[in-house]
Amino acid sequence: MLVTLSEILRDANERHYAVGAFNSLSVENVMGAIEAAERLRSPIILQLAEVQFPEAPLDLMAPLFLQAARKATVPVCVHLDHGQSLETCVKAIRLGFTSVMFDGAALPFEENVAVTREVTRIAKAAGVDVEAELGKVGDSGVDTADVFTDVDESVRFVQATGVDALAIAIGNLHGHYVHTPQLNIARLIEIHEANRLPLVLHGGSGTSTEDFKACIHNGICKINVATAIQRGIMKQMNARLAAKPDEGYIPLKQVMIDASRDVVADHIRLFESDGKA
């Protein structure tokens, strides 16, 4: 069933688990993710980031996401991940997404507030929820210090924008980690206690089990997963082709579906959302 982000995250926030948000670039990704969610009776978020549009155009993926969500027997939110402009967020809203993220984390604070507030105004008029980001989530392999989300700024930001969920920076990184990050759980707890709205962890791939558990028990309600799915598919595809070099196209599509399902299922169990639908 197609639902909004708030509908999914409300229960997660109350019962201290997290819902996986899986970046899906193909029909195989979507089929595998929905199969895992239905098997484990978990809510799920299907999402697509703006940087992925060249490989998976928004206007082509939107009908796929929405049809899969409507047919699913568990709650499914269709979410724009890391929208880079007001215009992209509006396009996703018009296409039927039930949630959009405007990522203004690289902007000066007041500009981030101003654009996020306008995205929220438009989205709310259409019954769509909004996620925003404050603080800078780093990129793996880049030797730069992360800018942690400031607690006082987070309160000002949430109050000024009216967002439904906030992505924060606590030492997490996008992409495949070279080294396991050390998350600042103390900062997470401070932000959660100051705001009490659902918090989001980006850069989920590569985080330790211990940090995942600490996050979901202290305010993180949505965790993004992208790299782990891609790596899971490539691992199973390479193994299949090594064993059967002349494998046909249709069986390989099933390998992609199965790999997507397995990675999503592992994260659903890790995030403790199984049985919550």
Residues catalogued as catalytic: 81
Length of the chain: 277
Three-state DSSP state, 234: helix
Rounded Cα distance between 124 and 138, Å, is: 30
The secondary element (H helix, E strand) that includes residue 241 is helix 227-243
Rounded Cα distance between 227 and 41, Å, is: 23
Please give the structure tokens belonging to residue 31: 């089929």
Q: Which of 27, 28, 82 is nearest to 60 (CA)?
A: 27
CB neighbours of residue 77 within 10 Å: 26
Please give the structure tokens belonging to residue 69: 């969500």
Residue whose entry in the numeric block shows the structure tokens 């985080």: 207
Instruction: Give the long-range contacts of residues 181-186, CB within 8 A, separation 24 or more.
Output: 181/206, 181/207, 181/211, 182/211, 183/207, 183/211, 183/214, 183/215, 184/148, 185/211, 185/214, 185/215, 185/218
Give the DSSP letter of residue 147.
B
Residue whose entry in the numeric block shows the structure tokens 């105004």: 121
